[in-house]
Amino acid sequence: MNRKVSRLKKAAWFSAAFLLVVILLLWFARSTTFAYEYGIKAQQYVTMNIPKNWGVRKSFLKFADSILQWRPVPDRVEFDRARSPAGASVDYKRSSLFLPSTDNVLHVTDSQELVQALRDAKAGQLILLAPGHYLVEQRTIRIGHSGEPGFPVTLAAEQPGQAEIRLNSLEGLYINKPYWVIKNLTFRGVCRRHSACEHALHLTGKADHIVIENNRFIDFNAHLKSNGRTSGGTLHFPDNVTVRHNDFYNNSIRESRNPASPIDVVGGNNWLIEGNYIADFSRTVRGKPSVVYGAYLKGGGKDGVIRNNVINCAWKLPHQSVLDLRVALSLGNGGTGKRFCQSKDCAYEHKGGIIEQNLLLNCSNDVAIYLNKATQTRIHNNVLLNTLGLDARFAATDVVLENNLIQGRIKARDDARVESYGDETLPPGRVYSDLHQLPL
């Protein structure tokens, strides 16, 4: 009898000790970024390899997966879009239009008139869309003429939300000429196959001095695409582009293998991406990590500024699994082939870039900022919450960080150089109850 009692006591002590160890490990995993990050990496490895194995190894991986399911996951940071100044708005200061003389206003009431007006409009003219829906079903919608300094061609509605351009179109509006303004419109992809709705706007070649302001872009792969185009033997890239106070998001996971980053910019100097709301960008996970970026500048451009944006990696669309990797911002992305690059031999992906005063949320399976060959970069006064933090990679990357609040860590990899002044890093787990009080 005494032996039985003794065994029961030992078993009880062992169980209590085991439970205590588990509790301490779970507390450690939740309270340290290191444990949180490597918990994600372990679960990614297991998730990818279970379907590839069988027998004892598969059983072991399934057991490991069941243990990793207990891994603490930080709560999603809630964000009230209606209280945010980022994105499109009916505010008069943002939505007001410069109205030229009556002779220079092209009034549009249906899709046919819209397509024709885009071909006909000249410098100083306004294409004004009446309230309503405009369904356009053609692969590419081309413009006819350039604007001029001080006299752009403007495509707009009087107020945001009045006119919606519904695109069953691969590329949407194809802009290869300078001095155009796109304002107060909603662009919505309506293709049955997601891979058939690539872009709402495609800027290329000599599309310089474009202003994209106070619009909503919904349900595309890469809502705004920009890249170079050869003309007269020279590769030209859109420069001096402003993307201000727009919404970019999707209502569902993109069922496509194509790139699915809302703002996808390859080459181009002096881009300003300011005051936008970017959210819910992802594509279907197919057994391996799927990396998608909210916005990036790459391809050898210079002097881009990304400022005062709110990027919510998981607003209404939760992550599918740990293989669903959403990164808010990048200078460099995954790199660029030399023949597509603006800088000589792609020595850098972006030079002189500034990332400032952005709120980056819920990129919980990866970092919020990724730098790849990002030369002479400054990143300051940003808030990164529910993310792994920031990665800087390769010797061409040198970055100065100042006064950022980062839930996660700052990591320099493969000879990248990082200087940090006044940055505060927080472990995972802490949730801010009122984001609108943060210093943005």
Quote the distance between the C-alpha of residue 98 and its chain's center: 31
How confident is the model at residue 24, as a pLDDT? Answer: 46
The least confident of 52-66, 186-200, 219-233 is 52-66
Of 182, 233, 244, the closest CA to residue 207 belongs to 182
Contact between residue 200 and residue 187 where contact means Cβ atoms under 8 Å apart: yes
Contact between residue 159 and residue 95 where contact means Cβ atoms under 8 Å apart: yes
Instruction: Count the domains in the chain.
Output: 2
How confident is the model at residue 315, as a pLDDT? Answer: 95
Of 39, 68, 97, which closes a domain? 68
Of 20, 47, 68, which closes a domain? 68
Of 389, 307, 298, 308, the closest CA to residue 340 belongs to 298
Question: What is the per-residue DSSP string for 313-342?
Answer: TTSSS--SSTTEEEEEEEESTT---GGG-S
- Domain-located, residue 10: yes
Whether pLDDT at 22 is above 50: no
How confident is the model over 380-429, as pLDDT tens digits?
999 999 999 999 999 999 999 999 999 999 999 999 999 999 999 988 76
How confident is the model over 112-155, as pLDDT tens digits?
999 999 999 999 999 999 999 999 999 999 999 999 999 999 99
- Domain-located, residue 55: yes
Residues 58 and 103 in one domain: no
Quote the distance between the C-alpha of residue 223 and its chain's center: 10
Residues 96 and 64 in one domain: no
- Nearest-angstrom CA–CA distance, 302 and 201: 22
The mean pLDDT of the chain is 89
Give mean pLDDT, residues 91-111.
89
Q: Between helices 33-49 and 55-68, what is the axis angle to 10°?
A: 150
Q: What proportion of the chain, given as a percentage, has pLDDT over 90?
A: 69
> If you compute the radius of gyration of the chain from its CA atoms, what whole number of angstroms results?
25
- Largest separation between any pair of C-alpha atoms in the chain: 105
How confident is the model at residue 87, as a pLDDT? Answer: 93
Element holding 73 (H helix, E strand): none
- Which pLDDT band, with edges at 50, 70 and 90, does 15 fall under? very low
Residues 348 and 252 in one domain: yes
Give residue 219's region: left, alpha or beta (phi > 0; psi -120 to 50).
Answer: left
How confident is the model over 221-235, as pLDDT tens digits?
999 999 999 888 788
- Domain-located, residue 328: yes
- Domain-located, residue 73: no
How confident is the model at residue 429, as a pLDDT? Answer: 66
Contact between residue 125 and residue 144 where contact means Cβ atoms under 8 Å apart: no
Residues 64 and 85 in one domain: no
- Domain-located, residue 158: yes
- Domain-located, residue 279: yes
Q: How far apart are the first and last CA of the chain?
A: 69
pTM: 0.90
Residues 266 and 383 in one domain: yes
- Domain-located, residue 275: yes
Residues 167 and 60 in one domain: no
Question: What is the per-residue DSSP string for 25-38?
Answer: HHHHHHH-HHHHHH
How confident is the model at residue 52, as a pLDDT? Answer: 86
Domain assignment of residue 47, given as a range: 2-68
Contacts of 2 (CB under 8 A, 6+ apart): none
Paired tokens of 96: 């007001």
Place of tokens 């604007």: 147
Residues 144 and 251 in one domain: yes
Contact between residue 304 and residue 342 where contact means Cβ atoms under 8 Å apart: no
- Which pLDDT band, with edges at 50, 70 and 90, does 431 fall under? low
How confident is the model at residue 297, as a pLDDT? Answer: 97
Residues 31 and 179 in one domain: no
- Which pLDDT band, with edges at 50, 70 and 90, does 1 fall under? low
- Domain-located, residue 75: no
Residues 108 and 35 in one domain: no
The CATH number covering residue 354 comes to: 2.160.20
Is the pLDDT higher at 76 or at 203? 203
Place of tokens 């709120």: 359
Whether pLDDT at 192 is above 50: yes
How confident is the model at residue 430, as a pLDDT? Answer: 64
Of 243, 253, 263, the closest CA to residue 199 belongs to 263
- Nearest-angstrom CA–CA distance, 182 and 97: 11
Residues 194 and 323 in one domain: yes
Strand partners, 292: 326
Of 68, 154, 146, the closest CA to residue 108 belongs to 154
Contact between residue 237 and residue 227 where contact means Cβ atoms under 8 Å apart: yes
The least confident of 33-47, 349-363, 368-382 is 33-47
Quote the distance between the C-alpha of residue 344 and its chain's center: 27
Residues 17 and 131 in one domain: no
Give mean pLDDT, residues 365-375.
96
Of 40, 68, 96, which closes a domain? 68
Residues 61 and 102 in one domain: no
The CA distances from residue 132 to 107, 153, 353, in Å, are: 13, 21, 39
Whether pLDDT at 2 is above 80: no
How confident is the model at residue 12, as a pLDDT? Answer: 45
